[in-house]
Structure 1
Amino acid sequence: MKILLSTFQDASGTMPEIWGKSTAAYGRYYRLLYEAKPVTCAVKGTVFDALPVPAAVVLDLFCLAEFRITQGISGSTVPVLTWMSGGVSTFIRFFGDDTIGGLGEFESRAAAEATLTGVTTSEAGLKILFEGEGKLLKIPGLPAMYDYEFCPQKPATTSPVFKILAASAKFLKEAQGIIAASPYALEEVSIDAAKSFWGNLEKEMYVVGPLLAPSPAFDATVSKSHGEIEIFLDDKLRRFGGKSISFGTAFWPTAPDYVEEVIDALLEKQFPFIFAYASPAATLSDKLVAKVNSSGVGLLSKWAPQPYILSHQATGWFLSHGGNGSIVESLSNAIPLVIWPFNADQPAAAAHLTENLKVSFELIEIRTGESGLKPLYRLGRAPKGTREAVGIEIREVIDACRGPKGVELRKNAEAVQAKLSNAWKEDGIAARDLRAFLDTYSGRD
């Protein structure tokens, strides 16, 4: 039996405030579940009958506070596993030791650096993360990379990432196991290394990816923008043929003129595109918006139904930051990518998909900041750091998408799609690992 409910109703406020409400609500609801009492959806008011005491709890890697609450209520009687949704290669980097290219005791290193330099531990941690030491890393499953290559964009000066990673490391040390959403078909070498490393620490890793919606359901009546997207895709399919559309998304870069240069190039090259820019920081000039809207080639949208667009016959490429979820959705539809990496697991994914799997182009000239403008090991050169260089590169990539290299990448994407589709067959690795997890925990007293 499964139940889906919301534990709190008021989602107003900043992200930390919302996270705090979620944490507080978790404690109330987990106590009810542990005491086998009914629970009520905070939004719809639906009352769910009491269920048996949980056999196990699975919490996101970032949920140290919820982990402590769980311990406080059920002690060690209910095992807790951590859920890891991103790329496993970056999981190794952040939480493995230096024998496999990891940061090791990250918080201790930051504290020691803070004592030596007179800065706060958080400031020292951010320096380790964002600046690196110029150390060459050989993480299983990735091309050799300098440590600073994990920060291809100028970071926010108030980034909370150190505190988040330090808390996540504490949770991981105490969790009984790991459930990873990244598919084996994407990260075979990295996953094998991670299973071995954490297995030696008596933490079983279960790999249950890909995780996708059953179908790319789409209702064009939901909003005006949805209807426009459907009309746009169907029109471009008629005018330009199949696999002709480029679909792009943006966090929003620190160099917005680079986005304008990319859009200018797409218009100039008559490469039809949908560009979604949901970030609150997104700013496009009125002139550029008018140019796109009158072009007959591009469509700008604050939000777009990604699974539907990627499954449409007109879509041929995905301009993405390279987050694990987007990669899985794209390659599950045999859509190769053009990757504009920002942070987290994206830089590692961009290198891996471009150099190893050969299903993507990685944009290099869009890098910014001190670390982003340093040389890349595999290229032996640094980005130029100019809009002109961005313009030259994106035009070369567009031409390559339409040429033999694009054909090669699409063929490779189709091969990955086939492997992904096997994961949930009866003997597939995702099905096997899920059964192993259920066999281990569902039969507990």
Structure 2
Amino acid sequence: MVGAPLKHIVFLAGPSGSHLGAAMIFNARLINKFPNAYISLYTITSCVVQAGKYLGMHSESVRERLRIVVSDVQPATPLPTDAILAIEKGFNEWILKQIDTTPFDTGKHTVAPPSCIIEDFIHGGIGLMEQERHKLTVVPWWPGAAGAMLAQLGNEENGNGSRLSDRMWEAMSRQKAGDEKPFEELYKAELSDRVIHVPGLPPFYEHETVTQFLPQEPIVIEACTSAFSRPLKPFCIGPALDLPPAPAAKPDSTDEFLDKAYAELGPRSVIYMAFGGFFFPLPESAHHLEIIIDQIVAQGFRLVFSLSSPFAHLDQSIKDKITKGGNVILPSWANQLKVLEHPATHYFISHGGWNSTAEAILRGVPIIFWPFALDQTTNAAHVAKNLDCGFELIQVRTGPAKSKAYPDILITGSDEAVREEINNVLEMSKGAKGLQQRLNMKALGQIMRKSIQKGGSGDRALEELGHAIGF
């Protein structure tokens, strides 16, 4: 054991593949920036294999200074809420034991007890629960766009996005055991038609927050300093994304499909569709999904529709119908980075989660948004409307959001309205509008790359964060 012990940071990772991948890249950047950093990434058993794969993609210097710690408590069900509850139960006991330990030897390094907790915002403050006992600094990590954070959590002067969530918590806490109302009923009762104004984003109705940064980010980031009940210092470290090309892998059926489309139809001839790891159109929207797929093929495109979500359920009759002509494939998993980098890829139909959005931006692929909830709605509004890097589907909305949005658009949700909307979008994507959106997306990708390269705004912010937590 030579020299001073490494500074030990604990990272409390979110229990999902998308959050975990972004977390691993962020932690690798932190380790590469600060040679005296050592990180314990705390997660649950179901995420260990994936975490190990992500870690294996990084350099030896990262692998020897980042360990994966597995919670002793197992989730009762695969639901994210149960996963977070399991992390909460296991983490607080574990962290209290860690602060009482002496420096330990990894074989290559001596590591001090933890001095700081960085926590994925999705947990809601698990690291704060025992702070009076562990006395560690807790730094929240938001793995998305700043505008989405304000839209959900901002104070009254900055859109008051937290109003709905605050009211929902109050309503749920007032319920008596055995007489609980369904969540949907409480949500509809608390929902309003008020317009939310978030700095840097187009105005939107509160009911649009559940529908099924970049040049804007400085405006939102400035607002972040005063947008919450307590002042905060934001460190805008940039997107937690890979910069190299997609890792080389053996060609699979998706690669062969893309190569064939490129050979027969040329560049930008394939639409890629995926809804992430947790989202998928509800059964009531299955017919709309079928209409959209039919129109994609009718307009001369081919389609890669990734069914990676555990909620991706399509009737076998629909699968048989849409794949019959050989123009559509339905892989259970697709290497998204490889698909986005392929010259045959035209547009990406996505739920609009931040990882998918940022991966498309980095690779210059415009997006057709079909958002559901969380940050997806603000990502769609900003990227499609503010930045003109894609389109948002409106007629597919369900629930309270199927009402009003823009003065010139009547949301009916009829089959004909969905068919007309997707046809218009696809036609525009093939013309001057689509060309401009692709140029806009490539420009944004260049901004993103520069932000996390040495000396970029994200790189400088990462260094400031490191100094703030003791490096």
Aligning the two structures, in what range does the TM-score lie when normalised by the shorter sequence? Answer: 0.7 to 0.9
Aligned to 1:96: 154
Pair 416,380 (structure 1): closer, same or farther in 2 beyond 3 Å: same
In 1, the alpha carbon distance for the partners of 2:264 and 2:166 equals 59
Q: Per-residue CA shift, 1:300-344, capped at 9, x if unaligned? A: 122211122112222221101111111110000011110001111
Equivalences for residues 190-205 of structure 1 within 5 A: 190-197=220-227, 201-205=230-234
Pair 121,432 (structure 1): closer, same or farther in 2 beyond 3 Å: farther
State the SS of the aligned residue for 2:227.
helix
In 1, the alpha carbon distance for the partners of 2:96 and 2:344 equals 50
2:300 equivalent to 1:270: yes
Q: Which amino acid aligns with 2:195?
A: L
Task: Tell me which of 414, 425, 429 is aligned to 2:442.
Answer: 414
Task: Tell me which of 367, 384, 390 is aligned to 2:418.
Answer: 390
Aligned to 1:83: 141
Pair 206,116 (structure 1): closer, same or farther in 2 beyond 3 Å: closer
Deviation at 1:273, TM superposition (A): 1.5
Aligned to 2:206: 147
Cα pair 2:201 2:216 within 8 Å, conserved = no
2:5 equivalent to 1:5: no
2:90 equivalent to 1:25: yes
Deviation at 1:249, TM superposition (A): 0.9
In 2, the alpha carbon distance for the partners of 1:244 and 1:60 equals 38
2:228 equivalent to 1:228: no
Pair 440,299 (structure 1): closer, same or farther in 2 beyond 3 Å: same
State the SS of the aligned residue for 2:346.
strand
State the SS of the aligned residue for 1:143.
coil
Equivalences for residues 19-418 of structure 1 within 5 A: 19-36=84-101, 51-64=111-124, 66-71=126-131, 73-75=133-135, 78-104=136-162, 109-110=167-168, 127=186, 132-153=191-212, 184-185=214-215, 187-197=217-227, 201-218=230-247, 220-221=249-250, 227-250=252-275, 251-254=279-282, 255-369=285-399, 371-376=400-405, 378-418=406-446
Cα pair 1:131 1:151 within 8 Å, conserved = no
Q: Per-residue CA shift, 1:330-389, capped at 9, x if unaligned? A: 0000111100011111111211112210101111111111x222111x344331111221
Structure 2 runs not aligned, ≥5 long: 1-37, 39-64
Most deviating of 108-117 and 292-301: 108-117
Deviation at 1:39, TM superposition (A): 8.3
Cα pair 1:7 1:25 within 8 Å, conserved = no
**TM-score, scaled to structure 2:** 0.76
2:465 equivalent to 1:437: yes
Cα pair 1:149 1:372 within 8 Å, conserved = yes
Aligned to 1:168: none
Pair 290,114 (structure 1): closer, same or farther in 2 beyond 3 Å: closer
State the SS of the aligned residue for 2:141.
strand
State the SS of the aligned residue for 2:211.
coil
In 2, the alpha carbon distance for the partners of 1:116 and 1:272 equals 52
| Root mean square deviation, CA, Å | 3.2
Aligned to 1:14: 78
Cα pair 2:348 2:368 within 8 Å, conserved = yes
Deviation at 1:425, TM superposition (A): 3.0
Q: Per-residue CA shift, 1:189-218, capped at 9, x if unaligned? A: 2222113435x9342111112211243444
Most deviating of 279-288 and 259-268: 279-288
In 2, the alpha carbon distance for the partners of 1:38 and 1:216 equals 38
In 2, the alpha carbon distance for the partners of 1:215 and 1:303 equals 21
Deviation at 1:112, TM superposition (A): 6.8
Deviation at 1:110, TM superposition (A): 4.7
Cα pair 2:168 2:190 within 8 Å, conserved = no
In 2, the alpha carbon distance for the partners of 1:21 and 1:145 equals 36
State the SS of the aligned residue for 2:267.
coil
Q: Per-residue CA shift, 1:407-433, capped at 9, x if unaligned? A: 111111111111111102333210111
Q: Which amino acid aligns with 2:155?
A: D
Q: Which amino acid aligns with 1:400?
A: M
In 2, the alpha carbon distance for the partners of 1:265 and 1:111 equals 42
Deviation at 1:232, TM superposition (A): 1.2
Cα pair 1:359 1:412 within 8 Å, conserved = yes
Cα pair 2:308 2:332 within 8 Å, conserved = yes
